[in-house]
Structure 1
């Protein structure tokens, strides 16, 4: 049986759908029943409502938090493979302890349980945020070492810490693979992750971001994860990025597919600093900080990712981002025009 943590997120929901469609025995973890409705919606994007219900019901859904050890012990009974997709994404400094508890301690729990239950293989979903950088080289590769002296976000540090726990598991005999996706584009979660690119442009967005970074479609992330788990490859990490392209190009393509005006004004650095000031003041009164000094730094630097390792190991070709965006926009348009 296959266990999936974070099964109600963008990657997790698409993964459980593919595994259920392929007839795999799946146990999927969730924390809130309300999020299961979104998973059902995701299933309905790709098949009839009858089949979507059939696939959904074939999954053994278990309520468990990755930091609830007794619940996790029960969830691991009879498990042979694990896809660890659960994580907290936040760039608010106030969430530091939550990030550490979910991303580092939670991953350590998953690794420990994998070892205790003799799991055959673990796939850990990390992020390009956890990769090292070398300013002397034009592209980021898996082999570049993490530099603790760099000014990293709390989120990046927590994802790097999670990887350390996974590597520890490999040293204790647990076969592992790690995927480091870029910004993941896919349907169903319009208020989180990359989803607001679609929802905000649909409502009307004037400003664009001029920054090159890595993007990938959710289906490519899910497919490469499954291929790695079925392969003999172990104790390796892989950058999962289809293209390193300018954010403006992505935003313009989304606008075209939604039949909305393209954002015309460049978001300048001084505007980000104004936003940082307001965000910091707002946080004093309990609001979430959306912009930090590290956010401003990251939005000002172009980053190119080299995906040659996974393309070579799996003989894999990524879906062009223009097609990923177009396909996602079709679903978005259908969803916002569907009767409620």
Structure 2
């Protein structure tokens, strides 16, 4: 029996379909309403919340494998406490529930944000790329955004479980691309391109296909005996302008042409912060999103390539696949 959290999210929804394609029995956690999709009737649905420790313990009755895909991705200051509740407390609850049932195997979805790479106060920015892999250490003296901190602390809960005998593997994907609700997380990048915004920030973005993430997570958790390991998943990086141009072209829209200088981005996020404080609305841009990608970061993927013989899909192929799926699911016209 397979137990899955976060099935309404991008990774969880694709993972659920992949498990059903394998013909495996699946039990899935939902909060308000189970997602509607082909094959949903074959899923054993459990209403609950990742923050409910007692509910999780009951949900793992008879379970052999757990996939933890639930998590909050947010850079809004209003969500800092919620990030800790969901990404850290939720992970701790699930690890504790797994430890109560010896023999369970856990596949945990983390993020490259948990690898570190924060900025150190007082040190000037460098022009060279930052290279990170599974062995990168979290710098406690650096400045990390609240999302990255929550993912790092969530990983620590899994390491705690491993030290107590839990068999677990973790994957650390970069920005995950897939044709999902474009009002949420990374898919909003496609909506930005579709709406023909003129502006872009001159940085780079690391991306990975959701199908590659699901494939690696499934194989590591179900088809290997690896434990106590984490694996970086990254299909490559693109300048943000190039990504938006490819997306806009696929969607039949005009790509952005005006670069936002650093000083302007710094001004905008400060104004947005004041507006959000006065109105209670979420800021359209935050300090973290304004500065994202300013320093090129290279994520090494040799470990997963060697472990599974894996090759990541080319990013242009992924972008075209996402655009085609969004045209169909969102009802947009090219």
Query: Deviation of residue 146 (structure 1)?
Result: 0.5
- Indicate the residue corresponding to 1:25 in structure 2: 25
Instruction: Report the number of matched residues.
Output: 323
Task: Note the alpha carbon deviations across 1:65-100, whole angstroms, 9 max, x for none.
Answer: 011123212211111111111111111222221111
Of the structure 1 ranges 278-287 and 104-113, higher mean CA displacement relative to structure 2 is found in 278-287
Change (3 A) 1:317 1:70: same
Is residue 297 of structure 2 the alignment partner of residue 303 of structure 1? yes
Of the structure 1 ranges 215-224 and 280-289, higher mean CA displacement relative to structure 2 is found in 280-289
Change (3 A) 1:331 1:137: closer
Query: Deviation of residue 274 (structure 1)?
Result: 2.6
Is residue 168 of structure 2 the alignment partner of residue 184 of structure 1? no
- Indicate the residue corresponding to 2:6 in structure 1: 6
CA distance in 2, matches of 1:84, 1:210: 34
CA distance in 1, matches of 2:40, 2:241: 37
What SS does structure 1 have at the residue aligned with 2:230?
Answer: strand
Of the structure 1 ranges 212-221 and 156-165, higher mean CA displacement relative to structure 2 is found in 212-221
TM-score, with length taken from structure 1: 0.90
Task: Note the alpha carbon deviations across 1:167-188, whole angstroms, 9 max, x for none.
Answer: 0000000011110000101012
Of the structure 1 ranges 217-226 and 288-297, higher mean CA displacement relative to structure 2 is found in 288-297
Change (3 A) 1:249 1:234: same
TM-score, with length taken from structure 2: 0.92
Change (3 A) 1:290 1:157: farther
- Indicate the residue corresponding to 1:151 in structure 2: 143
Q: Which has the higher helix share?
A: 1
Given candidates 60, 69, 72, the residue that maps to 1:76 is 60
Query: Deviation of residue 213 (structure 1)?
Result: 3.0
Query: Deviation of residue 14 (structure 1)?
Result: 0.4
What SS does structure 1 have at the residue aligned with 2:132?
Answer: coil
Of the structure 1 ranges 264-273 and 167-176, higher mean CA displacement relative to structure 2 is found in 264-273
Is residue 112 of structure 2 the alignment partner of residue 92 of structure 1? no
Where structure 1 has 5 or more consecutive residues not aligned to the other structure, the ranges are 41-51
Task: Note the alpha carbon deviations across 1:200-220, whole angstroms, 9 max, x for none.
Answer: 221222112322232000000
Pairs within 5 Å for 1:222-261: 222-229=214-221, 230-261=223-254
Where structure 2 has 5 or more consecutive residues not aligned to the other structure, the ranges are 119-125
